[in-house]
Chains A and B, each alone.
Chain A
Amino acid sequence: TQLLEQSPQFLSIQEGENLTVYCNSSSVFSSLQWYRQEPGEGPVLLVTVVTGGEVKKLKRLTFQFGDARKDSSLHITAAQPGDTGLYLCAGGGSGGSNYKLTFGKGTLLTVNP
């Protein structure tokens, strides 16, 4: 069974601070996705990384996929209250299971004004 561990589980910071959340596994994934979920809504995809060592930037968000494709990190620079939400990482299956996503439990981020 593939598992994804996310840390920290909860994070409360002040506006303007930087933060990093982590997503780790003992399994190799074909891809790694990051989602953000707000209360009462479904997760919304932020980014997909597929190549070991890949780094993607989306404005103030930087995503990295580990060289061995077992771990990933999300770094937010100068956090804003609008960044508040549940951040979920999800590993993509391969071959005949390419439809299946394995999710971590998430990091609940609160950015205080």
Chain B
Amino acid sequence: GAGVSQSPSNKVTEKGKDVELRCDPISGHTALYWYRQSLGQGLEFLIYFQGNSAPDKSGLPSDRFSAERTGGSVSTLTIQRTQQEDSAVYLCASSLATTSLKFFGPGTRLTVL
């Protein structure tokens, strides 16, 4: 596609439920990143993929958070047993290489009731 796409654009869930957020990077981009943007906060780094591997998962807030990438393309961020503090906009970005320009998707706004 022309840019990074994310789905769903909005997700409302109940506390304790699991959610999956999807990211489709720009074709050919080997690097993929997930960030979280909470109200009044800057973008917080979650995880970085190079191909299908995740060399840096250090930003994942807890073991309820996991992510995978398949075929060097689509990535899924999964949050298990969601909590209210997980409410935020989850942004995905991709780039040709780690030092290349990063293109961000529009984000998924997650609301945990």
By a beta-carbon cutoff of 8 Å, the part of chain A in contact with chain B is: 4, 6, 40-45, 88, 90, 97-106
Contacts and interface: CB of A to CB of B under 8 A. Distances in A.
Interface string B1-33: 000100001000000000000000000000101
Interface residues of B, number: 25
Contacts of B50: 99
B104 A43 contact: yes
B113 interface: no
Does more than half of chain A's interface fall in helix, strand or loop, or is it mixed? loop
B12 to A, nearest CB: 16
9 contacts: A42-B93, A42-B104, A42-B105, A43-B91, A88-B43, A98-B98, A101-B43, A103-B43, A103-B44
B48 to A, nearest CB: 5
Contacts of B105: 42
A88 B56 CA distance: 23
A90 to B, nearest CB: 8
A36 to B, nearest CB: 11
Contacts of B45: 100-102
Contacts of B56: 97, 99-100
B42 A106 contact: yes
**Complex A-B, nearest 7 residue pairs according to Cβ-Cβ distance, in ascending order:** A42-B104, A99-B98, A103-B42, A103-B43, A105-B42, A43-B104, A41-B106
A6 B42 CA distance: 10
Contact of A45 (B41, B44, B102): B102
B93 A105 contact: no
A105 B4 CA distance: 23
A105 B40 CA distance: 7
Interface in B66-113: 91, 93, 98-99, 101-107
A49 B93 CA distance: 20
